Structure 1
Amino acid sequence: MSDEIKHECGLAYIRLRKPFSYYLQKYGTVMYGLNKLYLLMEKQHNRGQDGAGVAAVKLNVEPGYPFLHRIRSNAPQPIADIFFKIGEEVKELEKYQPDILKHPGLMKGHLPFLGELLLGHLRYGTQGKNNVEFCHPFFKRDLVPGKNLALAGNFNLVNTEELFALVNIEPGVFQKQSDLAAMMEVIHHFLSKEDEKNPNTANIANVLKKAVPLFDGGFTVGGLIGNGSSFVMRDAHGIRPAYYYINDEVIVAASERASIRTAFNVGENEVLELLPANAIIVDNDGNYVIEQIQEPKERRACSFERIYFSRGSDEKIYRERIALGDHLSKAVLESVDYSLRNTIFSYIPNTAEVAFYGLIKGMENYLNQIKIQRILSWGNDFTEDKLQEMINRKIRQEKIAIKDVKLRTFITEDSSRNEMVQHVYDITYGTVKRNEDTLVVIDDSIVRGTTLKESIIRMLARLQPKKIIVVSSAPQIRYPDCYGIDMSKLGDFIAFKAAIALLKEKGMEDILETVYKRIKELQHDNLLHTENVVRQVYKPFTTEEISNKIAQLITPPEVNVPVEVIYQTIEDLHECCPTNTGDWYFTGNYPTAGGNKVVNNAFLNYYEGKNVRGY
């Protein structure tokens, strides 16, 4: 994705089901659980680089000794920072007792994070700031073990104010900025009530069944309880991803299937998807159940997980990204008038590489058909040279753009900073025949279009191609997201800017006033959640009209090379990614009522000139 956006988060959960002595004997280390947690987190580091955190619960600790521990970091490399600090603690212990690693009991007693229950989290800052106190897991401490709670997750909630009101809490400044704080208060409220009925043996399923239906959002959340119980739960629409693996040694859950497969070296079919509205609940003896905690709703798993967020090392995601590129090949062929001799294909940025392979696959299939038709048309009228020339025709592929090191400038002057932004990417000179070759570059998606305009288009234009075609493996992003991705300001979206520009050009600006008045009416009646009024902004125009206007908007005024933008269609997206049908950022069809409220608020902010979040 050429436009950087903050998105998602990553969850890693491990419950060891054997004594530490077992792992020492079988795997040669009492650090087995922590080592696996580190791997799970590193293999998901793409999901969060603003911060990380780890919580651990120890079982059967003597009264008076701590059993719940946490470490968090917002260092430039937070995972490495956390596990370096844990490693330093191990080294310190070895100074005084060199063979302590061979004594599980001593290690457990002296190393805070050597717990049977482990919860790791990777954070991208969405709701809240990037200070270390916003990093998950959050804690609720209590003198009663069964009322201690550690919570971390991949989610956004859009009804935090209502949640605080439900449990009669007036949120402080910090709590208002964190949806996890609201979720924590609600879960802890019901946990405390359940613990009072059954001290230290609270029925976690009952707690979740009361709390979870109150949350409006998409979520995968893990929780550790001081008495040794734990859980991982998923929202009713399955918006956020969750996978698990269980054997007689461990219970593992994570945000991505591939991370579990790699960390534990297991097959695809051994790692299962946690179904929407379900939770894995583990008691203090390591027994588990997978239980439905609320009524499942229409599956609306986030399609961006397949397009961009999740790592492409998952074989299903890899195939889907290939398909996304392949499905774009017909539109691209039409745009270049089927002239492949004078067309060069490339991709920006590196995360679009797999979709690029799919696009090339589509082009090669077409070229092979042409080869067969031409050869057959020759009959016996051909020479070896003629046949050789036809067989050797290839799709022209080049590494046109290279993302340079992150450029920094000590100059704060806007014009100078803009000059630096133009050079985020570097180009490969000598690859394009000037004024002859058409340049096709594929991106995962186009959000704001800022990097395209300020850097990429300018850079590509220096090669003087006949035409530049930017291809997006995702459809037009038209609406805010409020379930995990930090896209909440309508005015940031290049598709919205294009629609506004078209309305102005065609003298239809009164539509904006109509939309604004309708949203104000809904706001007055407390009905913002009932409909997405912003759809009316796009309604007068075809997808092609908006794409053409986007192409104009991302073309710098001094660039004379024609620019075209081709987007994935919604229909092809769903065909390529059949299990992840969540498409609200493209269609405005939100899975929960809170989404409508967010998009309407986002329009109010835009129209009233407020540069603030929509939720």
Structure 2
Amino acid sequence: MSELIKHECGIALIRLRKPLSYYQEKYGTWQYGLNKLYLLMEKQHNRGQDGAGVVSVKMNLKPGQEYIHRYRSIEQNPIQDVFAKVGKSVKKAMKSGKDLSDLKWVYEHLPYAGELYLGHLRYGTFGNNSIDFVHPVMRQNNWKSRTLVLAGNFNLTNTDELFQKLIDLGQHPKNYTDTVTALEKVGHFLDEENQFRFRQYKNEGFSNREISPLIEKTLDVQSILENASKDWDGGYAMAGLIGHGDAFVARDPWGIRPAHYYIDDEIVVVASERPVIQTVMNVKGSDVHQIKPGEALIIKKDGSVSNHIVRVPHKRKSCSFERIYFSRGSDKDIYQERKALGHLLAPQILKEINYDIKNTVFSYIPNTAETAFYGMMQGIRDHLMIWKKEQIRAKNGSISEEDLENIISLEPRVEKIAIKDAKLRTFIADDASRDDLVAHVYDVTYGVVKENTDTLVIIDDSIVRGTTLKNSILKILDRLNPKRIIVISSAPQIRYPDCYGIDMAVLGKFIAFNAVIELLKDHNKEQLIDEVYNKCKAQQNLPKEEIVNYVKEIYRQFTPEQISKKIADLLKPEGCKAEVDIVYQSIENLHKACPNDTGDWYFSGDYPTPGGNKVVNTSFINYVEGFEGRAY
């Protein structure tokens, strides 16, 4: 994507199933689990740049020894900062001459020499970027089985309802965020489960000291998660550690947010993405499994692992935008899906250029559109093969050597036109600087476009706001003096806000929405804005389950082609000499390319949860009233 759309969060969980001495002997280091955690987090760095955090739990220390350690960072390179802190105690011990082969001493004295680790990468979709909002978050207690650590890739659409429920329980939450409400909700039912077990064993005649290990052994994590999550509306992959050593990762019942795991007799690994686990653990894709929608992977203190349903699964609506852009393209399925997205666009592109391949240059906007580009070019070449056969057959055996050579040699002209200046990209931080510097994010390759003759076709994976296209890419492409520039989006028009973990929540920032508003003005249909606004306002106090997405009525007035044409008009820079057109993927082709991930609410407005309709209506109200704040 050429634009700065920030990513969702990433989780990484490690459970060592052997003593530290096992890893010391087999792998040469007791830090085996810690090293794997670091790699899992680095490989998922794309999922969060605002902060990082790590928690370690030791399960076999005596009372009075600190068994849980956490470090979080919001520094510029938070992962490096976290692990520098983690490694500080090791370096200090080495300098003081401690024998680090004495694993009993290591276990008892070095903070992160544990059996259970939870790491998190954060993009802050809720709350400001302070250390208080960085995961993992903790709820501590003198009873290990009541201590809770939580980290997740999630957004809940009904934080207001959940917050009120906590108040109704008699709590006084310290912050109004989905993270706090989730932590306190799980914590509440963790406390209740502990209390239930305590009364049970007390009635059976056990002493208080005997009861604690019994609770740790029999704690019903499945029941805790069932009760805690029953009111959650949103997308989530929620990971948690309980102080005595139980762990879990729960996934939303629609499968919106991803979670994958790998298990062998040495280790349990959970991460947001499959190829990350494949790479870090050097295992086959078939060895890595998805946590199913509505299920929780539960790891007990004794190392046993099981899957349990904690929410009734709904129709799978895993996020297709995750496939288009946010996930790592090294996943075998995602790679093929992105190629298919490009391939399916080929007939439309050929029609746009009037099949004039000779005078067309094909390229892509780096870096994430590259795979779709390969698919697009395969589609173009497939067409060319058909055309070549037709041309040769038409000659009926009388073709000259020159004609045959001309036919066979015709190939699409592929060039690397846009070159991303990665160093400059990372330098741009604030909006004011961005406006001045964005025009220089990309360089272009001169001398490969025939001036005033060639059409330049360039593919991007998605077009959300269009600001970088207008302020940078189209301007620099126009310097090459093409006759025409066609920008291809491998994703459909992004029309509706996301509310499940990706930072696309404000309607007024979507170029497709701005285009349809301009079309309403052009066609004297501006009254529809007030009509939809009034319908949305009338629903504000209804339960989320009764709310209808009336914003769809805005888009129904025009065809996708009309909206695309208006988007091209809005994004064409002042002074641009070339004709500019924009071609979007269809929703139908999106489903063909990503058949197993049908969550298309960005494009269709069909939200998988009731809270989605509430969010889109609130977002429209905010637009009309000029409020740019969060819609959920």
TM-score calculated relative to the size of structure 1: 0.96
Q: How big is the shift at 1:170?
A: 6.6
Q: How big is the shift at 1:111?
A: 1.6
SS at match of 1:470: strand
How many residues of Structure 1 are paired with residues of Structure 2 in the alignment? Answer: 611
Contact 1:164 1:185 in 2 (8 A): no
SS at match of 1:328: helix
Note closer, same or farther for the CA distance 1:304–1:525 as it changes in structure 2 (3 Å cut): closer
- Is the deviation greater in 74-83 or in 604-613? 74-83
In structure 1, how many angstroms separate the alpha carbons of the residues matched to 2:524 and 2:372?
A: 39
In structure 2, how many angstroms separate the alpha carbons of the residues matched to 1:334 and 1:420?
A: 36
The answer to whether structure 1 residue 228 and structure 2 residue 227 are counterparts is no
Aligned to 2:69: 69
SS at match of 2:495: coil
2:424 is aligned, of 392, 399, 406, to: 406
Note closer, same or farther for the CA distance 1:195–1:410 as it changes in structure 2 (3 Å cut): closer
- Is the deviation greater in 290-299 or in 389-398? 389-398
In structure 1, how many angstroms separate the alpha carbons of the residues matched to 2:426 and 2:371?
A: 30
What 5-or-longer segments of structure 2 have no aligned partner?
198-211
Note closer, same or farther for the CA distance 1:233–1:378 as it changes in structure 2 (3 Å cut): same
1:494 is aligned, of 511, 515, 538, to: 511
2:341 is aligned, of 324, 345, 354, to: 324
SS at match of 1:290: strand
Contact 1:237 1:591 in 2 (8 A): yes
Aligned to 1:291: 308
Please give the per-residue CA displacement for 1:455-502, whole angstroms capped at 9, x wherever unaligned.
111111111111111100111100110001111111000010011000
The answer to whether structure 1 residue 247 and structure 2 residue 264 are counterparts is yes
What 5-or-longer segments of structure 1 have no aligned partner?
none
Please give the per-residue CA displacement for 1:156-193, whole angstroms capped at 9, x wherever unaligned.
01111221221226766x622x3111100000000011
Aligned to 1:390: 407
In structure 1, how many angstroms separate the alpha carbons of the residues matched to 2:331 and 2:542?
A: 47
Matches within 5 A, 1:541-552: 541-552=558-569
Note closer, same or farther for the CA distance 1:145–1:513 as it changes in structure 2 (3 Å cut): same
Contact 1:108 1:115 in 2 (8 A): yes
Aligned to 1:469: 486
In structure 2, how many angstroms separate the alpha carbons of the residues matched to 1:411 and 1:580?
A: 33
In structure 1, how many angstroms separate the alpha carbons of the residues matched to 2:257 and 2:543?
A: 28
Aligned to 2:57: 57
Please give the per-residue CA displacement for 1:537-592, whole angstroms capped at 9, x wherever unaligned.
11111111111100101011221311111111111101100111001111111111
Q: How big is the shift at 1:383?
A: 4.9
Q: How big is the shift at 1:527?
A: 5.6
Note closer, same or farther for the CA distance 1:351–1:413 as it changes in structure 2 (3 Å cut): closer
Matches within 5 A, 1:71-150: 71-97=71-97, 99-100=99-100, 102-150=101-149
Aligned to 1:302: 319
Note closer, same or farther for the CA distance 1:346–1:371 as it changes in structure 2 (3 Å cut): same
Contact 1:529 1:597 in 2 (8 A): no
- Please tell me the residue identity of whatever aligns with 2:279: T
Contact 1:528 1:600 in 2 (8 A): no
In structure 1, how many angstroms separate the alpha carbons of the residues matched to 2:235 and 2:537?
A: 27
Contact 1:409 1:417 in 2 (8 A): no
In structure 1, how many angstroms separate the alpha carbons of the residues matched to 2:245 and 2:149?
A: 11
Aligned to 1:351: 368
The answer to whether structure 1 residue 510 and structure 2 residue 510 are counterparts is no
Q: How big is the shift at 1:104?
A: 2.0
Aligned to 2:11: 11
In structure 2, how many angstroms separate the alpha carbons of the residues matched to 1:70 and 1:2?
A: 36
Note closer, same or farther for the CA distance 1:280–1:417 as it changes in structure 2 (3 Å cut): closer
- Is the deviation greater in 272-281 or in 84-93? 84-93
Note closer, same or farther for the CA distance 1:580–1:508 as it changes in structure 2 (3 Å cut): same
- Is the deviation greater in 559-568 or in 317-326? 559-568
SS at match of 1:351: coil
Please give the per-residue CA displacement for 1:361-419, whole angstroms capped at 9, x wherever unaligned.
101111122222223333443455544443332211111111223269999997x9644
Q: How big is the shift at 1:525?
A: 4.4
Contact 2:260 2:273 in 1 (8 A): yes
In structure 1, how many angstroms separate the alpha carbons of the residues matched to 2:162 and 2:425?
A: 43
Note closer, same or farther for the CA distance 1:418–1:183 as it changes in structure 2 (3 Å cut): closer
In structure 2, how many angstroms separate the alpha carbons of the residues matched to 1:72 and 1:189?
A: 24
SS at match of 1:533: coil
Q: How big is the shift at 1:39?
A: 1.1
In structure 2, how many angstroms separate the alpha carbons of the residues matched to 1:528 and 1:128?
A: 26
SS at match of 1:175: coil
In structure 2, how many angstroms separate the alpha carbons of the residues matched to 1:490 and 1:410?
A: 24
Please give the per-residue CA displacement for 1:284-320, whole angstroms capped at 9, x wherever unaligned.
1111211111111110000011101000000111000
Please give the per-residue CA displacement for 1:326-380, whole angstroms capped at 9, x wherever unaligned.
0001100000000111111111131110001110110111112222222333344
Note closer, same or farther for the CA distance 1:409–1:55 as it changes in structure 2 (3 Å cut): closer
In structure 1, how many angstroms separate the alpha carbons of the residues matched to 2:282 and 2:266?
A: 14
Q: How big is the shift at 1:421?
A: 2.2
Aligned to 1:373: 390
Aligned to 1:25: 25
The answer to whether structure 1 residue 598 and structure 2 residue 597 are counterparts is no
In structure 2, how many angstroms separate the alpha carbons of the residues matched to 1:547 and 1:484?
A: 27
In structure 1, how many angstroms separate the alpha carbons of the residues matched to 2:437 and 2:8?
A: 29
Aligned to 2:204: none
Aligned to 1:46: 46
In structure 1, how many angstroms separate the alpha carbons of the residues matched to 2:246 and 2:426?
A: 47
Note closer, same or farther for the CA distance 1:367–1:411 as it changes in structure 2 (3 Å cut): closer
- Please tell me the residue identity of whatever aligns with 1:150: V
The answer to whether structure 1 residue 161 and structure 2 residue 154 are counterparts is no
TM-score calculated relative to the size of structure 2: 0.94
- Is the deviation greater in 367-376 or in 599-608? 367-376
Please give the per-residue CA displacement for 1:417-442, whole angstroms capped at 9, x wherever unaligned.
64432222111111211111101111
- Is the deviation greater in 319-328 or in 90-99? 90-99
Contact 1:155 1:219 in 2 (8 A): yes
Aligned to 2:221: 204
Aligned to 2:377: 360
In structure 2, how many angstroms separate the alpha carbons of the residues matched to 1:276 and 1:495?
A: 31
Please give the per-residue CA displacement for 1:260-284, whole angstroms capped at 9, x wherever unaligned.
1111111111111110000011111
In structure 2, how many angstroms separate the alpha carbons of the residues matched to 1:409 and 1:91?
A: 32
Contact 1:434 1:465 in 2 (8 A): yes
Contact 2:615 2:631 in 1 (8 A): yes
Identity %: 51
In structure 1, how many angstroms separate the alpha carbons of the residues matched to 2:98 and 2:192?
A: 46
In structure 2, how many angstroms separate the alpha carbons of the residues matched to 1:394 and 1:498?
A: 36
Contact 2:364 2:418 in 1 (8 A): yes
Note closer, same or farther for the CA distance 1:272–1:527 as it changes in structure 2 (3 Å cut): closer
Note closer, same or farther for the CA distance 1:426–1:185 as it changes in structure 2 (3 Å cut): same
Note closer, same or farther for the CA distance 1:171–1:610 as it changes in structure 2 (3 Å cut): farther
Matches within 5 A, 1:255-266: 255-266=272-283
Aligned to 1:217: 234
Contact 1:244 1:271 in 2 (8 A): yes
- Please tell me the residue identity of whatever aligns with 1:500: I
Q: How big is the shift at 1:528?
A: 8.1
The answer to whether structure 1 residue 429 and structure 2 residue 446 are counterparts is yes
Contact 1:407 1:420 in 2 (8 A): no
Note closer, same or farther for the CA distance 1:500–1:106 as it changes in structure 2 (3 Å cut): same
Contact 1:15 1:118 in 2 (8 A): yes
Contact 1:439 1:469 in 2 (8 A): yes
- Is the deviation greater in 530-539 or in 322-331? 530-539
Note closer, same or farther for the CA distance 1:412–1:150 as it changes in structure 2 (3 Å cut): closer
